Structure 1
Amino acid sequence: MFCFLLSTLPYVSMFCFLLSTLPQVYEAYRNGKVEEAMSFGFLLFLFSGDLSSLIGCILTSQLPIQIVTVVFYIFTDLMLISQFLYYKIKNNSSKKRPMLKWLCFLWCGASTVALLILPKFITDNNTSANTESASNSVEISGYACGYVASIFYLSSRFPQLYKNFKRQSTEGTSYMLFALAMMGNGTYGLSVIVVLPALAGSKQTFILKHLAWLIGSLGVLLLDFFVTAQFIIYRKNRSAKTSKKMNVPEVEPLLCEEEELSTF
């Protein structure tokens, strides 16, 4: 049973991450005002984190399934960014900031090209390095990319937290995006922690190799609790405002009728 749990947790984490962005894609399509709800900084940091993670996976020779999964993450990031830009341009009738629009398009195009070219470039450089020192430097670079990715992931939540606080609302944002991310980060962190007692080798080396990804996953998990709190608080505020509006008596029409009667 314990072995089954160890082998299942990473796949549960991967499955949660694969599904996490799809509810937000649907919410953006349904609402049509994603540029008001989502922070572009959140999307930008998320994409940068996944791109750094992809480079790290390639440099540290991770399993093909992990590389394919990260590529899918990047694809969904680009989908969210494309939606954001599409609705921002569509809903912005005035042409006050055309330079910003073109910069966004340019950034998306450059990111797509980098996504197609970078893995092949890194793989070629990795296979051409035959010496032990070169392979060690490549591995160190891979782990450095892991730390960079963790910084991007941690930074991604702050723009969205500020956006929600500024609007005093989470309307237009799907909570499932953060709920599934919490499940994914939680199960990943748990899978690393649970395997420690069963390790035959050095536990310290194992922790150091996974430290970057642990910091990223558990740190983001903590920040997502603050996002969850915002969803709960602002939803209660919205419900209170709605019920208050429904309970307001229609005094003005009655007063008008009384004034009309008094004139006769």
Structure 2
Amino acid sequence: MPRFPGRTADVAANLTSPVLGRPLCANGTPWILYLFEECVENVWEYWSVVIGLISMFCFLLSTLPQVYEAYRNGKVEEAMSFGFLLFLFSGDLSSLIGCVLTSQLPIQIVTVVFYIFTDLLLISQFLYYKIKNNSPKKRPTLKWLCFLWCGASTVALLILPKFITDNNPSANTQSASNSVEISGYACGYLASIFYLSSRFPQLYKNFKRQSTEGTSYMLFALAMMGNGTYGLSVIVVLPALAGSKQTFILKHLAWLIGSLGVLLLDFFVTAQFIIYRKNHSAKTSKKMNVPEVEPLLCEEEELSTF
């Protein structure tokens, strides 16, 4: 699930006059130029940015349904694979490192930091309920430790974007710029590997349980929408490119591989939700029927003895 497009660091430099320090994009869309420092002068580029924002919005919301589902049923450790959460966190962390190395825009760094925050929230929920459900005694301190951990993580992640943007050195030489760009692409490939790897532990977990109970499908549905719209945003801009289309594809190849790969794997997750839904219905009906039948049988046996 490559949540981050990975724009190059020299986009803003190409839009600013070295003499006057003013934007050279006279006919560009103002709000896109202000937020992303990207010159958008035709309909293809405009819709590419809009679709990309839809993709980012889907990823921002993707983990929230699972957070609610885990809070509602309290059995997240039985439904979610810890490997899935760990690989997801590793992918977002790699994206953050790539953002720092390639001097991404502040709005992009803040977005990926929010992704990491939701990852930590899911991991914290997983560990909290695992300890709570496996402990024979109630531990009131566990809840306070969880609150303190979430609070400390929130404060750290709120401070982190400003710290990174204030202390991120800019590359002055061509060799340093090339080195940073290569490092950024390496982080992109690494993040894609982590995102692809995240699906396999969850697929195995669902197969082993023969159930998807306790897992929110909206997590994967929104991820599919995010990955699909990201790929579309890259394809839509191709007709408007003045340079080499092959070079453009190569620069986005790491994120495209991860995006389309995870999208394919999420179709298998969707199939599991459809197939195992019958098992979930059967288990639910069994739990609902057993308490009502057993007392009646016991009463009939007692009456027959008299």
Give the shorter-chain TM-score range. Answer: 0.7 to 0.9
* 2:84 and 2:201 in contact (8 A); partners too: yes
Partner Cα distance (1:85, 1:249) in 2: 32
* Cα deviation 1:152-187 (Å, max 9, x = unaligned): 000000011111111111111111111101101110
Partner Cα separation in structure 2 for residue 263 and residue 116 of structure 1: 71
| Whole-Å separation in 2 of the counterparts to 1:79 and 1:164 | 22
Long gaps (5+) in structure 2: 1-53
Give the Å deviation of 1:19.
0.5
Aligned position for 1:107: 149
Report how far residue 249 of structure 1 moved.
14
TM-score w.r.t. structure 1 length?
0.79
Distance change (3 Å), C-alpha of 1:97 and 1:39? farther
Q: Does 1:210 align with 2:255?
A: no
Give the equivalent residue in structure 2 for 1:179. 221
Q: Which moved more, 1:147-156 or 1:234-243?
A: 234-243
% same residue: 96
- Distance verdict in 2 for CA 1:224–1:260, change over 3 Å: closer
Instruction: Name structure 1 gaps, 5 residues minimum.
Output: 1-11
Q: What number of residue pairs does the alignment pair up?
A: 253
Q: Is the 8 A contact 1:31 1:172 kept in 2?
A: yes
Cα separation, partners in 2 of 1:128 and 1:103, compared to 1, 3 Å? farther
- Give the aligned CA root-mean-square deviation in angstroms: 4.2
TM-aligned CA distance change 1:39 to 1:97, over 3 Å: farther
**CA distance, structure 1, for counterparts of residue 75 and residue 98 of structure 2:** 35
Distance 1:31 1:128, change over 3 A: same
TM superposition shift of 1:205: 1.1
Contact 1:59 1:122 (8 Å CA) reproduced: no
Moved more, 71-80 or 240-249: 240-249
Q: Which residue of 2 aligns with 1:257?
A: 299
Contact 2:98 2:188 in 1 (8 A): yes
Moved more, 215-224 or 148-157: 215-224
- Residues 197/91 of structure 1: CA separation in 2 closer, same or farther (3 Å cut): same
Q: Give the Cα separation in 1 of the matches to 2:292 and 2:201.
A: 42
Q: Deviations over 1:79-123 (max 9, x none)?
A: 111111111111111699999999999999999999689878876
CA distance in 2, matches of 1:123, 1:254: 69
Task: Measure, in 2, the Cα distance between the counterparts of 1:263 and 1:95.
Answer: 42
Q: Tell me if structure 2 keeps the 8 A contact 1:150–1:216.
A: yes
Judge which range, 121-130 or 234-243, deviates more. Answer: 121-130
State the shift of 1:42 in Å: 0.5
| CA 147–259 in structure 1, closer or farther in 2 if over 3 Å, else same | closer
* Alpha-carbon offset, residue 193 of structure 1: 1.1
Q: Which moved more, 1:254-263 or 1:22-31?
A: 254-263
Structure 1 pair 111–203 and aligned structure 2 pair: CA distance change class (3 A):
farther
Could you report, residue by residue, the CA deviation over 1:21-55 in whole angstroms, capped at 9, with x for unpaired residues?
11111111111111111111100000000010111
Once residues 26 and 223 of structure 1 are traced to their aligned partners in structure 2, the CA distance between those partners, rounded to angstroms, is 24
Deviation (angstroms), 1:67: 1.4
Inter-CA distance 258–47: structure 2 relative to 1 (3 Å threshold): closer
What is residue 8 of structure 1 aligned with on the other side? none
Could you tell me whether the CA contact under 8 Å between 2:58 and 2:226 is conserved in 1? yes
2:243 maps to what in 1?
201
233 and 135 in structure 1: CA distance in 2 versus 1, 3 angstrom threshold: same
Alignment-derived partner of residue 55 in structure 1: 97
| Aligned counterparts of 2:226 and 2:295: Cα–Cα separation in 1 | 55
Given that 1:58 and 1:119 are in contact with CA atoms closer than 8 Å, whether structure 2 keeps it comes out as: no
How far apart, in 2, do the equivalents of 1:247 and 1:230 lie?
Answer: 26
The 3-state SS of whatever aligns with 2:145 is helix
Contact 1:154 1:219 in 2 (8 A): yes
1:58 shift after superposition: 2.3
Provide closer, same or farther for how the CA distance between residues 113 and 147 of structure 1 changes in structure 2, counting only shifts above 3 A: farther
Q: CA 1:147 to 1:132, structure 2 compared with 1: closer, same or farther past 3 Å?
A: same
Q: Distance in 1 between matches of 2:258 and 2:161?
A: 22
2-structure distance, mates of 1:35, 1:74: 20
Q: Distance in 2 between matches of 1:94 and 1:19?
A: 35
Question: Aligned-pair distance for 1:128?
Answer: 5.7
1:61 CA drift (Å):
2.8
The structure in which a higher percent of residues are helix is 1
